[in-house]
Amino acid sequence: MSYKMTKAPTTLGEKLASFDANAPQPQTLKWLRKAVYFLLNVLLLTSITALLLWWIFLRPDIDPTVMLIGLPALIATWLLVYYRFGGREPHALLAHDRLGFMHDLRLDAKTAIFNGSNIYHLGHAHGFDARPLGELVAQLRLEGYRIVCFFDANIFYTLSEHGAFPSHQTHSVALLEDIFGLERNEIYVVPSGVQADKYVLESLRYLPISFAVSNDQYRDYAKDYASVMKDKYWRKGVVISHNEIKLLQHRLPNPIRLT
């Protein structure tokens, strides 16, 4: 008797593939799939409607079996298109990843998951604005950590209000790269109307070698994410004291001083 071997997932996209009936794809293919799905829907629904109206109002002198076969065939084709191309929405971590890097995150890489908005507000409260976040990211990157930095959707408005860039300047990921010293494949801006908190916790749930960098206690999520918050090392808070940044529960090789 032979047994089919199931390959263990190696990336986050593979691990979350069960959330998407049509396995995650690069951004270009996603848009192409949506365009094909839309056009086929329009074509088939128009054909079904036109066939019904033609039969009802014009009463063509044709064999009724044409309608009995043709109409169900069109409906069956439309259902096939709907279930094949429509599918289910992918997991939120993949669905709202505008830059498309989350799918390829390796599960065997150690990852520091930042609540970027939270750490930025801490820096601003101490008069250092973006520097604490940028310095911590740079240090952990040097230590071999892959960085994922989540921002609330209003981060651009917040930065503009604080004078990081003129209000008339176009919002772009490049701004966040320059202001925080981040790389493009480290930035994830969550959709409007939701907070970055849940995205941070969802990432921790599926990336096995990871921890959060945030001063948020996430108490409102304790019940849903009990498996994530199982020990004191899942989250590392940030303290700024005497112009020095300290990362709690993590020994930095050298002090990070802000002067």
Segment 17-45, tens digit of pLDDT: 865 434 444 556 566 767 777 787 778 77
Least confident of 51-65, 120-134, 208-222: 51-65
Closest CA to 93 of 9, 177, 14: 14
pLDDT over threshold 70, residue 47: yes
* Per-residue confidence (pLDDT) for residue 74, from 0 to 100: 74
Partners of 189 in the β-ladder: 151
Mean pLDDT over 77-89 rounds to 63
Closest CA to 107 of 200, 41, 9, 215: 9
pLDDT over threshold 80, residue 204: yes
State the Cα–Cα distance between residues 185 and 200, nearest whole angstrom. Answer: 16
Contacts of 147 (CB under 8 A, 6+ apart): 111, 112, 114, 137, 140, 141, 182, 183, 186
Contacts of 139 (CB under 8 A, 6+ apart): 252, 253, 256
Residue 50 burial (C-beta neighbours within 10 Å; 0-12, 13-18, 19+): exposed
Which of 53-67, 82-96, 209-223 has maximum average pLDDT? 209-223
Q: Under a CB-based contact definition with an 8 Å cutoff, are residues 122 and 55 in contact? A: no
Q: How confident is the model at residue 154 (pLDDT cuts 50, 70, 90)?
A: very high
Per DSSP, the three-state class of 127 is coil
Phi, psi of 196 (to 5 degrees): -70, -20
State the Cα–Cα distance between residues 20 and 87, nearest whole angstrom. Answer: 7
Amino acid of residue 32: L
Pairing of strands 210-213, 111-115: parallel
* Mean pLDDT across the chain: 86
Phi, psi of 79 (to 5 degrees): -65, -40
Q: Under a CB-based contact definition with an 8 Å cutoff, are residues 172 and 166 in contact? A: no
Contacts of 158 (CB under 8 A, 6+ apart): 117, 120
* Per-residue confidence (pLDDT) for residue 22, from 0 to 100: 42
* Per-residue confidence (pLDDT) for residue 60, from 0 to 100: 67
* Per-residue confidence (pLDDT) for residue 107, from 0 to 100: 96
Q: Which pair of structure tokens corresponds to residue 226?
A: 């009990």
